[in-house]
Amino acid sequence: MTTKLNQILAVEKGVKSAAQRSIADIRQRLQKPALLSGISRTYQPVDDEGEQLPAESSRVQLKVEETLQEAATALTRLFDVTATKDWANTAAKADVAVDGRTLLTNVPVTYLLFLEKQLTELHTLISKLPTLDPAETWALDPSTDAYRTDTVKTVRTKKVPRNHVKAEATEKHPAQVEVYHEDIVVGHWTKVSFSGALPAARVRELTARVGKLQDAVRFAREEANGVEVTDQRVGEAVFDYLLG
């Protein structure tokens, strides 16, 4: 019966949790001196007339040597599963291809995991890149290597007071004059806006590229994790030495 790396990965977490629980239980029991102690005590009066007292006895409930064997059993499976995974990781490799184009060849599964994490962070970065204001028309300006808008010319005005004679002066009454303000052009503004942001279409294109590469890396990881593995038996050798 053959085993695949992804099957080992599926059981690794459970095996590790079980081993940790066993070791924690063993550690707690070893901290209770009463479990390690036993006694056998009998009483004999000096003569037959003396008071008879009952014997006392308690058995040893925990033996360190047996507990160490229990710990070895709990850890041996973990050692073997982890060794099988790590040995297999040295052989688990796959190509990363996008749209039929191979970008990376024989990539180790450990690096594929690293790459997958980095691409997730890169996708977040790229998808939130600043984009150009869609209300403006932008073009790349070679002289500044930035985007610029068309030149917009606007006028600058100034309010100048004017007099409006509502009634001419007479011998009996002064002239009736109303003051109002008139906007007159005093200059011109010429405005060009610049931006270091990107067109929204470019951001969408980059986001899509990262997404494709993420899918390709995930596919490669699954392919690499499908490699057949040889079960390693290292735990027994380790504990034979430690407890021998």
Q: Which residue(s) pair with 79 in the sheet? A: none
pLDDT digits (tens, 9 = 90+) for 112-162: 999 999 999 999 999 999 999 999 999 999 999 999 999 999 999 999 888
Please state, in angstroms and rounded to a whole number, the distance separating the CA atoms of residues 173 and 31. Answer: 116
Residue 126's CB is within 10 A of a number of other CB atoms, namely 18
The reported pTM is 0.68
pLDDT at 2 over 80: no
Please state, in angstroms and rounded to a whole number, the distance separating the CA atoms of residues 195 and 198. Answer: 8
pLDDT digits (tens, 9 = 90+) for 70-86: 999 999 999 999 999 99
- Tell me the pLDDT of the chain averaged across its residues: 91
Distances (CA, A) of 24 to 33, 41, 210: 16, 34, 44
Sign of CA dihedral 102, 104, 105, 110: negative
Please state, in angstroms and rounded to a whole number, the distance separating the CA atoms of residues 178 and 182. Answer: 13
pLDDT at 1 over 70: no
Pairing of strands 146-149, 138-141: antiparallel
Task: Note the pLDDT of residue 220.
Answer: 96
Please state, in angstroms and rounded to a whole number, the distance separating the CA atoms of residues 193 and 117. Answer: 38
Can you tell me whether residue 132 is helix, strand or coil? coil
pLDDT digits (tens, 9 = 90+) for 160-215: 888 887 778 777 778 787 888 889 988 999 999 999 999 999 999 999 999 999 99
176 phi/psi in degrees, rounded to 5:
-95, 115
Query: Where along the chain do its domains lie?
Result: 1-92+232-244, 95-137+200-225, 151-191
pLDDT digits (tens, 9 = 90+) for 97-117: 999 999 999 999 999 999 999
pLDDT digits (tens, 9 = 90+) for 34-51: 888 899 999 888 888 888
Q: Which of 109, 124, 137 is nearest to 218 (CA)?
A: 109
Please state, in angstroms and rounded to a whole number, the distance separating the CA atoms of residues 180 and 182. Answer: 7
